[in-house]
Amino acid sequence: MTIPPFCFELFVLALGILLLLLETFSEKQDRKMFAFIGIVGLAVVFLLLQTSTPGPSGMVSYVVDSAAIFFKKISVLTTIVVLIMSIDYANAIKRFLPGSSPQSGLGEFFALPVLTCAGMMWMSSAIDFILIFVSLELVTISFYILVAYMRRNANSLEAGVKYLILSGLSTGFTIYGITWIYGVTHQTNLARIEQVLPGIPLENQPGLLFGALLVLVGLGFKIAAAPFQFWVPDVYQGAPTPITAFLSVGSKSVGFIVLLRVVQAFQSLPAVGNRLITAIILLAAATLLYGNLAALPQTNFKRLLAYSSIGHAGYILIAVAGIGSRDSGRAVVVYLAAYLLMTLLSFLVLVIVTARGEGDDIVNFNGLAKRSPFLAFGLLVAMMSLAGVPLTAGFLGKFLVFKVAFETRQFFLIALGIVTVGCGFYFYLKVVRAMYWQPASASVTSIPVSKLSLATIAIMVILIFVLGVFPQIALGLLP
Amino acid sequence: MSPILFWIFVAIMLFFAGMVVLNRNPVASALSLVVSFMALAALYVSLDAYFIGVIQILVYAGAVMVLFLFIIMLLDLKAEVRRRMNFPAVCGGFVVILLFLKVLSDVCYGVFGGNAKLPPISQGPKGDAWQVGMLIFERYNLALQVVGTLILVASIGVVILSKRELK
Amino acid sequence: MNFSPWIVLFSPFASVIVTVLVTQKFRKLSSYISVAAVAISFIFSLAIFFGPNGSKGFNWVDLGTFRIEIGYLINDLTKLMLLVVAGVGFLIHVYSIGYMGEDRGRARYFSGLSLFMFSMLGIVLANNFIMMFIFWELVGVSSYILIGHWFDRDAPPAAANKAFLANRIGDFGFMLGILLVWSASGTVTFEQLAQRWPALGLSPGFMTAAALLLFCGAVGKSAQFPLHVWLPDAMEGPTPVSALIHAATMVAAGVFMLARTFFLFQTSATALTLILWIGLITSLLAALMATQQDDIKRVLAYSTLSQLGLMVAAVGLSNPQAGMFHLFTHASFKALLFLGAGSVIHCLHHEQNIWQMGGLQKKMPITFWTFLVGTLALVACPPFAGFWSKDEILASAGTNLPAFLAIAIVAFLTAFYMSRLFVVAFLGHPRSDQAGHAHESPLVMTAPLVILAIPACIAGFPFIASAFIKLPEHEGSPIGSMVISLIAFLAGAASGFYLYKGKDKDEIDVPLFEHRFYIDEFYNSLIKWTQDLLANISGFVDRWIIDGGMVRGLSGITWGFGFALRFLQIGNLQAYAFLFGAGVVLLLYYILFGTK
Amino acid sequence: MNLLVQLTYLSQIIGALLILGGMPARRTAIIATLIAFVSALIVFAGYDRTTAGYQFLAALPLVPDWDLKFSIGVDGLSSTLLLLTSIVGLAAILVSPTVEEGENRYYACILLIAAGAAGAFASLDLFFFYAFHELALIPTFLMIGIWGTGNRQSAAWKITIYLSIGSIILLVGLIGLYLLPPAPQRTFDIVKLQQLASSGVFSGSGSKSIYLLLLLGFGILVSLFPFHTWAPQAYASAPVPVAMLHAGVLKKFGLYGLLRVALPLMPEAAHHWAWLLLILVTGNILYVGLATIAQKQLDLTLGYSSVMHMGYVFLGIATYNIIGLNGAALLMLAHGLSIAALFAMCGEVRKQTGTLNYLDLGGLATNMPTLSFVFGLATFASIGLPGFANFASELLVFFGAFKTPTPGSAFNEFQIVGTIALWGVVISTVYMLRAYRAIFMGEPQARWQGVRDIPAKVRWAVVFLVAALLVVGLAPRIVLDAVEPGIRLFVK
Amino acid sequence: MVTLNDYLMASGLLFAIGFAGVLLRRNVIIIFMALELMLNAANLSLIGFSRFNVQNGLPDYNAQVLVFFVITVAAAEVTVGLAIIVALVRARQTTHVEDISTLKF
């Protein structure tokens, strides 16, 4: 028996509503139970997703191809890890929410990511600009709420406002771009657009390109591509850490799947498609440079991860720009899979280390190797993978990206990539230095880690190495 | 609709849009916004999009603007105290906007031969509300569900963010 | 199958291994093992001397087209040299038992001596250039080890370094020469080279270059001008070492090499002329410097330089046999002189200044008489060995008047400074307490003196020498050169006696000679202004320009860019919106209007 | 049989994991490296020298699409280098001092560094060949940073960033190499690539720039002038075992890569860029040599000297003939052993006296007879004296440089650089002998009275290294006969 | 006669005015209003395109569906946005953008 493909979103949606109902109707329950329910439910969805195969969906605006399935898996996995982090982060949430009971607002904090996850899953399958727009907005509005969630925390609110305004701006550009694409092609469906594009007369092509570029701007905002990335460091720093992770992985991933679909559709008209790729190359170059260079003097770990997230968007954009190569989609997918593992791992460790109200500066990681060797090792692996040390998943991603770039002769981007990888080693190893070289300050003691987080860290570390050593597993993600 | 009416409504829309930006009093801005959106609704109607025009007035002029006004009142926002303008920023902003307009007008007047005529339409047996509704509930049913979720999320969010004391 | 050359070669090597690895703790045992090893070498050298000629080897490196052989080449030259090296070596080993008897590092000393014997015999036996070079270098190492034997003082290590470096500089040329010869002929084996070289049809310039570069090796090893500076300093080593390495054998290796590969030099007249004059200049300078030295070993060292210059000059005169003949005789009487000096030093508790000696005639009769024999041989008093060999060189100068004159002057100077040495150090009255309380050395030291005195006396007679070396026939009468030689000897000896008889201090003061023509000072400043300057410049460039400017600079610039980028991130929402808009506009402009 | 090659790196990786898991660190490390050494020795001895080519093969296909395999095997060259790795690895473990804190991490890091080198030498697949080498990067960073001396932080940064940039350039070059043949023939398999080379797919227009990338990438890893400044400082500051492994073994990876990948596949490109390599070699030998003379501390002197000696290997590679390449291969082994021994003893001197400054030291030989003796031997080896492997290999390099197509012709560029390299021998004599004299010779100083001779564990390690140098130096055919057939395959 | 381009230009000007509001005004609420202007500008274009793309004698209602969704979404966004702004004012007593820049660099 196969489950109809669109049911997965509905399962997740139902799960989210279930959590909300539980929140409403149970008074005494420990809210952390809800998180466990969410995790288990999502895990079930993830397992069910394993059975789904590409095939017709029966809807024009919704496809079920292998990329869609992959990105759904990414969304679900990310959400699971975010929920795990949220459990560890619950104390901080409580501290910054006004409530009659210590549990106030926690249920929603666990339920909203699940609903967001549904939005991401819809986005993964959407090939109609209408569906793309609404699911994108579902994700965006959820993030408005989540980012500003700790409303007694000025930083969280500030981040929320910044995200709100800038995201609204980008939404404006996106919808304006969609308008123009529709105006020229008379279609909102990417599959149809791909069909009609070759017949677009020359005089209308600037309009088409204008629209495509504005859509690119909007998506560039989502994936944190320079010069539309300015919100990233501030919002990442201000948001609750699990949400930062969610933004950094989930929001970015689905941004990329939409970008890939749009760019792919436009390839049927080379006059426009190639110029669109030129634009992506420019964005990739700017993003690589900005993300990696601005990270160099960073001293706050969360901001560092924000810049790193920008930098990685640059690498993935290189792969997107190489859409002419057979491995382009694969490179994006593999890179994102690796990125998911290593970024979530970093954030998970960050949440655990800072759970008791310590700051999230790199200095706070001093001597972590002595306080908690396991956490330090986990973060070490994450940093190695982020920096791109071979035999880790991160290296495989970079390897594919460089391969794609070489195949499509993007030598300029390769040269930039070399420089930025060098920079990357510097700032990732700054964290390693803090953990291993520096002595811990006298006041701090060892850090308690819950069994669930421990297991999650262990699994992610193993997965990072497994993907790195057996590339076929990663490549099999997108056959 | 005659071109004269079109231009009048365009002028009203743009003028009050400008007022939104230029007024220093938030209340005046909000009211200007309402006027601008009403002119916009008239333009929708001029394009035979009656349903959307009605929605525009209902949602924007009726709901959103009330919300804006309500919040402005709630927060007791005074007219902005004139602060020293940051001239480089303002100039930069103008340059960016003018350049954007330049691109936009180049694109606008470049496409469709520059003078696409309004094609005649036949009045169908069902109104456009019916047409739009059919599309929404059949073809874009999924999108509608997504929007439903969105509204659910938004309402939870509003509660979380603004309730004085959570239960 | 003839095993004797291998036994000759490897018995000292076995001694090195055993003494280093096993018996380092047992000093006596080590010395006996070492002596036994060299005795074996000597015995088998005798066997070879009376045996047939031949050549044999195995491939040390085999790369198909390129092979390096380790093998021996036995001919008359080898036989003579083997006898000299093993014979003198054996005697000095025996002598060392006495001389180094009390030394803490005795085991190390004998290991070094054995290593030296191994390497020196390797040079002698080598049948190709590379093998010769290998042992050539090893000789340098053992010399380094032995000069620096007393490493816990300041001067010996410095002298050892100097010696090694000077040799390395010579070896640089030597190796380059070998490479040139090989690149031209494709072989390094002496026998093959001797056949191929003249037939290669190389340009004269190339042949001269190759010959001169090879000669560089000899310049270094035989301490010829301008690399002669290390030899006098090398006297910081134990005296038997000076006798063996820095008088009799190692320094003669250069001459031996020239003789061995004379076919390469024959083809270039220019090279020969240059070699002749290098030899003569060395000889003259060294003789002049020797006249003003007060250290008994230094006088002998300069005389060694001077004699080596004569040998090299003999090669330059196309008469390598004469050079070898002088080498042969010189080995015996110079070893004798050094050992005699060593005996004196030993008895005077390491006093080396001749002005602190005197009146040793009675107290050390054996040393006195054998030293006299050595001196007479060196100053070419007929009929001692040196007379014949020096005369042979003088004779081969023949019609080359400048060379002839120079050799004659050297002969005169030799007689002068040796008589000065002898008069001051041995005759007269004791000038210090040590000299007053001196007594004869033990038998183990005097016996080698006596044995060495025998060849110093008789080895020169033509009928004896001809058993060892075949000298070319000269045109014309030998009487002329003999007379000149005799006159030079008499004049020199007489002036020496006259000037220094009964003196308590040196009344002749020639600073130029005493300071060795300031060549060391010149070299020191040369090194300071070339090598050290370049080194400091390189060090500076590396630290501040390549590392500081390029590496740190680039990384600093990168970091600076990163730091500057932070100022875009000023936290103001509106600034972000502006930058966002600017980005959009730039992108639109460039893509819409800038690309096709 | 195939397990043997796997053991050379696996035993160390497993050892590292066990140590991290809590096994007694030093004992486990010694056992792991001993297993690696024995298996490397058996592989080296068991390699059939009568036939050229790769033996002890084993492969695990990973990505059939790209023809990417986890492929292991050795030929003469790699079995030699495996042996070097295991010898130096064992010695490095032996000389490791007692670590107060984090002993497990210390030993695990050393083992990982050694395993990375061994794995790189044993890999016959470009991907893993590259990946294994990088495995050593992070442990090096950690070790220098935590247990280093002197200016350790800056040194650790510099080596790590420099090498990571070098590696990424190399990675790009390798990817380019992979993409050079037409799509159906693409493979990461080094053996197949070498077979492909004869069909001329690597001689296209792109090959020259790809060779340059490889040269640059490998060059940075080997501290090719002017990309050398990371080396001296890093070696000076690194803990002894890291300096030994890095200078002795890991650095050889770049040279090995040139010999294994760049030269056999792209001989035309190698010829085309020979002039550039020669210029840089001159920099390595002459310029760095002179800079070495200017150093005032033993650790820096050794660090610079190791950079300088790389010039000789590069010269051998640049000559591109049998003699020079064999010389380069042998010199890799010889230099690895000698520099490892020197660093081990340098560390001992520092531990005993707390300084390596020439002006402070002097007369140590009186109290450290064994150390100064073995140090002397290693010094002699380092300046290329006969009897040690360095001599034989440098000799071959010189002969390689002077091998000319037309005998007796004027000096060509190889011979000019060869001459400079020959003068480099004099330069190295200058600084090494000066260092030796300044530290060990001269009047014994009162403040070094308490200095004790080399402890047994270090003694065994350095004697082991020096003995290996002597054995190979006396009978270089042990190595050359194994290496030569493989080189002959691609040098016509 | 009114052409499509006139509608497009009108919409473009509205968009630009909205954009200007975002760039020039410092009050977050006004900025937020300006964002609404931008969205509505897009809507105007969409309706214009829809009307000028007549098929079977009918405008293209797909675009109107999109406009419908945009309006809905915008409304939701406004509610959430205003909630955040209210929370911000409660926490910081300001709606001025220059006062909310503690997160930087």
Q: What is the tens place of the pLDDT at every residue in A219-256?
A: 999 999 988 999 999 999 999 999 999 999 988 998 99
- pLDDT class of B79 with cuts at 50, 70, 90: low
Angle between helices E4-24 and B26-46 in degrees, nearest 10: 170
Check CB contact of C554 with chain B, cutoff 8 Å: no
Beta bridge partners of C62: C67
Residues of chain D contacting residue C536, judged by C-beta atoms under 8 Å apart:
294
In sequence order, which ranges of A186-251 are alpha helices (DSSP H)? 190-196, 205-223, 231-238, 241-246
pLDDT of C398 > 90? The answer is no
Mean pLDDT of the region A454-472: 92
Which contacts (CB < 8 Å, 24+ apart) does range A424-427 have?
A424/A292, A424/A295, A424/A308, A424/A311, A424/A386, A424/A387, A424/A388, A425/A387, A425/A388, A425/D160, A425/D161, A425/D164, A425/D165, A426/A296, A426/D157, A426/D161, A427/A292, A427/A295, A427/A296, A427/A298, A427/A304, A427/A307, A427/A308
Please tell me the distance in Å from E51's CA to the nearest CA on chain B: 6
Q: Of chain D residues 154-183, which have a CB less than 8 A from chain C?
A: 158, 161-162
Mean per-residue pLDDT of chain B: 86
Q: What is the tens place of the pLDDT at every residue in C316-340?
A: 988 888 888 899 889 888 989 999 8
- Asked whether at least 3 C-beta pairs link E and D within 8 Å, the reply is no
Mean pLDDT of the region C421-431: 84
Q: Please identify which residue in the block is written with the tokens 């691609």.
A: D490
Q: Of chain B residues 125-144, which have a CB less than 8 A from chain E?
A: 128, 131-132, 135-136, 139-140, 143
Name the 3-class secondary structure at D35. helix
Distance between CA atoms of residues A41 and A35, nearest Å: 10
Check CB contact of D473 with chain C, cutoff 8 Å: no
Beta carbon pairs, A and C, within 8 Å: 84
Residues of chain A contacting residue C595, judged by C-beta atoms under 8 Å apart:
275, 278
Residue of chain A whose alpha carbon sits nearest to that of B165: A99
Q: Tell me which residue of D489, D478, D476 sits closest to D51, measured CA to CA.
A: D489
Q: Tell me which residue of A178, E15, A168, A211 sits closest to B40, measured CA to CA.
A: E15
pLDDT of C541 > 70? The answer is yes
**E68 near B52, Cβ under 8 Å?**
yes
Q: Please identify which residue in the block is written with the tokens 């007549």.
A: E54
Residues of chain C contacting residue E104, judged by C-beta atoms under 8 Å apart:
569-572
Mean per-residue pLDDT of chain A: 90
Mean pLDDT of the region B65-72: 89
Quote the pLDDT of residue C399: 77
Mean pLDDT of the region D302-316: 93
Distance between CA atoms of residues D104 and D124, nearest Å: 31
Mean pLDDT of the region D67-88: 90
In tens digits, what is the pLDDT along chain E, a chain of 105 residues? Answer: 788 888 888 999 999 999 999 998 888 999 999 999 999 999 999 999 988 888 888 888 899 999 999 999 999 999 999 999 999 888 888 888 888 888 887
Mean pLDDT of the region A50-71: 87
Quote the pLDDT of residue C202: 81
In sequence order, which ranges of D222-297 are alpha helices (DSSP H)? 230-237, 240-245, 252-257, 263-265, 267-272, 274-282, 288-293
Left, alpha or beta for C217 (phi > 0: left; psi -120 to 50: alpha)?
Answer: alpha
Residues listed for chain D: 492
Q: Please identify which residue in the block is written with the tokens 């993030």.
A: A143
Q: What is the tens place of the pLDDT at every residue in E3-12?
A: 888 888 899 9
List the structure tokens of D306.
């190791």
Angle between helices D274-282 and D206-221 in degrees, nearest 10: 20
Residue of chain B whose alpha carbon sits nearest to that of A202: B111
List the structure tokens of C589.
């402009």
Return the amino acid letter for D17: L
Mean per-residue pLDDT of chain C: 87
pLDDT of D246 > 70? The answer is yes
Q: Please identify which residue in the block is written with the tokens 């990125």.
A: A339
> In percent, how much of chain E has pLDDT > 70?
100
pLDDT of A8 > 60? The answer is yes
Query: Chain C residues contacting A, CB < 8 Å?
Result: 558-559, 561-563, 565-566, 568-569, 571, 573, 575-577, 579-580, 582-584, 586-588, 590-592, 595-596
Q: Please identify which residue in the block is written with the tokens 């994991």.
A: D17
Residue C284: φ, ψ to 5°: -65, -50
Cβ distance of A133 and E70 shorter than 8 Å: yes
Query: For an interface test with E, which of A134, A171, A175 has the most E Cβ atoms less than 10 Å from its Cβ?
Result: A175
Residues of chain C contacting residue A165, judged by C-beta atoms under 8 Å apart:
573, 577
Give residues with Cβ within 8 angstroms of C521, minimum separation 6: C515
Nearest to A390 among D65, D131, D153 (CB): D131
Nearest to E25 among B18, B21, B46 (CB): B21
Name the 3-class secondary structure at C126. strand
Residues of chain C contacting residue E85, judged by C-beta atoms under 8 Å apart:
none
Residue of chain A whose alpha carbon sits nearest to that of D102: A370
Return the amino acid letter for A115: L
Cβ distance of A176 and E15 shorter than 8 Å: yes
How crowded is residue B70: how many other Cβ atoms within 10 Å of its Cβ?
A: 12
> In percent, how much of chain D has pLDDT > 90?
50
Distance between CA atoms of residues C211 and C224, nearest Å: 16
Q: Tell me which residue of B43, A314, C215 sits closest to E4, measured CA to CA.
A: B43
Q: Please identify which residue in the block is written with the tokens 């399935």.
A: A69
Beta bridge partners of D63: D68
**C209 near C180, Cβ under 8 Å?**
yes
Residue A326: φ, ψ to 5°: -65, -30
Nearest to D442 among C157, C185, C541 (CB): C157
Distance between CA atoms of residues E74 and A400, nearest Å: 40
Largest Cα–Cα separation, chain A: 72
Residue of chain D whose alpha carbon sits nearest to that of C200: D408
| Poorest-pLDDT segment among A24-28, C386-390, D225-229 | A24-28
| Poorest-pLDDT segment among C181-185, C357-361, C518-522 | C357-361
Q: Tell me which residue of C118, C88, C75 sits closest to C260, measured CA to CA.
A: C75
CA A186, B98, E29 angle in degrees (round to 5)? 85
Angle between helices B65-75 and B26-46 in degrees, nearest 10: 180
Chains that touch E (3 or more CB pairs under 8 A): A, B, C
Give residues with Cβ within 8 angstroms of E17, minimum separation 6: B14, B17, B18, B20, B21, E34, E37
Distance between CA atoms of residues D51 and D29, nearest Å: 35
Distance between CA atoms of residues C366 and C349, nearest Å: 18
List the structure tokens of B81.
């105290």
Q: Please identify which residue in the block is written with the tokens 């260079």.
A: A293
Distance between CA atoms of residues A108 and B167, nearest Å: 12
Q: What is the tens place of the pLDDT at every residue in C585-596?
A: 999 999 988 877
- Does the model's pTM come out above 0.90? yes
pLDDT of D385 > 70? The answer is yes
pLDDT of D239 > 60? The answer is yes
Q: What is the tens place of the pLDDT at every residue in C141-174?
A: 999 999 988 888 888 999 999 999 999 999 999 9
Q: Of chain E residues 6-35, which have a CB less than 8 A from chain B?
A: 6-10, 12-21, 23-27, 29-30, 33-34
Burial of A357 (0-12, 13-18, 19+ CB in 10 A): exposed
pLDDT of A216 > 90? The answer is yes
- Asked whether at least 3 C-beta pairs link B and D within 8 Å, the reply is no
Mean pLDDT of the region C363-391: 87
pLDDT of D408 > 60? The answer is no
**D59 near D126, Cβ under 8 Å?**
no
pLDDT of C376 > 70? The answer is yes
Nearest to C202 among D408, D430, D488 (CB): D408
- DSSP for residue D363: -
List the structure tokens of D50.
């009568």
Cβ distance of D161 and A425 shorter than 8 Å: yes
Mean pLDDT of the region D98-105: 84
How crowded is residue D368: how many other Cβ atoms within 10 Å of its Cβ?
A: 24
pLDDT of C475 > 70? The answer is no
Check CB contact of B109 with chain C, cutoff 8 Å: no
How crowded is residue C437: how many other Cβ atoms within 10 Å of its Cβ?
A: 12
Q: What is the tens place of the pLDDT at every residue in A413-448?
A: 999 999 999 999 999 999 999 999 888 877 767 788
Distance between CA atoms of residues D146 and B68, nearest Å: 59
Distance between CA atoms of residues C379 and C376, nearest Å: 5
Cβ distance of B153 and A206 shorter than 8 Å: no
Residues of chain E contacting residue C581, judged by C-beta atoms under 8 Å apart:
19, 22-23
Quote the pLDDT of residue B114: 57
Cβ distance of B99 and C589 shorter than 8 Å: yes
Q: What is the tens place of the pLDDT at every residue in C452-462?
A: 888 888 888 88
C204-217 core/surface letters (b: 16 or more CB in 10 A; e: else): eebbbbbbbbbbbb
Nearest to E101 among C567, C570, C578 (CB): C570
Quote the pLDDT of residue B115: 63
Q: What is the tens place of the pLDDT at every residue in C223-239?
A: 888 888 898 888 888 88
Q: What is the tens place of the pLDDT at every residue in D18-67?
A: 998 888 888 999 999 999 999 999 999 988 888 878 888 888 888 888 88
Distance between CA atoms of residues E84 and D28, nearest Å: 60
**A228 near A252, Cβ under 8 Å?**
no
pLDDT of A332 > 80? The answer is yes
Chains that touch A (3 or more CB pairs under 8 A): B, C, D, E
Quote the pLDDT of residue B83: 62
pLDDT of D407 > 60? The answer is no
Distance between CA atoms of residues D176 and A407, nearest Å: 8
Cβ distance of E77 and A168 shorter than 8 Å: yes
Nearest to E97 among C569, C573, C581 (CB): C573
Residues listed for chain C: 596
Distance between CA atoms of residues A267 and D92, nearest Å: 57
Half-sphere exposure of D124 (CA within 13 A, CB side): 26
**D72 near D57, Cβ under 8 Å?**
yes
pLDDT of D198 > 90? The answer is no
Q: What is the tens place of the pLDDT at every residue in B131-153?
A: 899 999 988 999 999 999 999 99
- From first CA to last CA, the distance across chain E in angstroms is 53
Half-sphere exposure of C511 (CA within 13 A, CB side): 1
How many Å is the Cα radius of gyration of chain A? 21
How crowded is residue D35: how many other Cβ atoms within 10 Å of its Cβ?
A: 19
Check CB contact of D443 with chain C, cutoff 8 Å: yes
Quote the pLDDT of residue A287: 95
Higher pLDDT pick, C437 / D70: D70
